[in-house]
Amino acid sequence: MPELIFPGPEGRLEARYHPQPQRDAPIAIVLHPHPQFGGTMNNRVVYNLHYAFHKMGFTVLRFNFRGVGRSQGEFDQGIGELSDAASALDYLQAMNPNSKHCWVAGFSFGAWIGMQLLMRRPEITGFVSVAPPANMYDFSFLAPCPASGLIINGTADRVAPPKDTGTLVGKLREQKGITITHEEVEGADHFFRDDEEHMKPLISTVQGYVRRRLTETSR
């Protein structure tokens, strides 16, 4: 997979870019967990999401937020990281001007950033939020949430407890004009550590959801 450096708001950002041969292929960016707790674009969940989208025909970009890996800058409490994500989407769109569909996926802290990006960018047609930390961050900015999407978490998540995720889902489902799909992976912790029991069901659920949405929009 091509290594990539692209310009961000605070300097260079390190990325992995996986294009499709079709010029009008859908595009997706994948956002990693918290930089100060070891989160990078090579996190297992992020890596698996990246390849899941590529297998579904997406041109995919994942990248390191500022201050992570070879990306320049310093951690900025989510404010700068949102700007990084916007720059990544700008870059991906510039590389793929004929794409008709744009998705954002994020894990943990990356899910929080991804849903903020959703509010800024009306061209995003769908989202996948894995283990959004609704207990740590305020998601009330999703008023209204502009796109339908999938929220998925593990039933044994102690970092972002299922109860808080359920509350977030309930609030979003009160909104009209969008559909929030909520799935849980039985027994999975925050990191979906077991490949067979947790990671495979996670990726299978994501692929099933995204494929269904793509089929609906192509009718």
| pLDDT tops 90 at residue 217 | no
- Indicate the residue type of 97: P
Dihedrals phi, psi of 112, to nearest 5 degrees: -65, -45
77 vs 217, more confident? 77
Evaluate whether 40 touches 68 at the Cβ level (below 8 Å). yes
Per-residue pLDDT tens over the stretch 41-84: 999 999 999 999 999 999 999 999 999 999 999 999 999 999 99
Which residue segments constitute the domains of the chain, with CATH numbers given? 3-218 (3.40.50.1820)
User: Could you tell me the pLDDT band of residue 2, with boundaries at 50, 70 and 90?
Assistant: confident
- Sequential DSSP letters for the chain: --EEEEEETTEEEEEEEE--SSTT--EEEEE-S-GGGT--TT-HHHHHHHHHHHHTT-EEEEEPPTTSTT--S---TTHHHHHHHHHHHHHHHHH-TT---EEEEEETHHHHHHHHHHHH-TT--EEEEES--TTTS--TT-TT--S-EEEEEETT-SSS-HHHHHHHHHHHHTSSS--EEEEEETT--TT---IIIIIHHHHHHHHHHHHHHHHHHH-
CA distance 66 to 46: 17
| pLDDT at residue 56, as a whole number | 98
CA distance 206 to 210: 6
pTM assigned to the model? 0.97
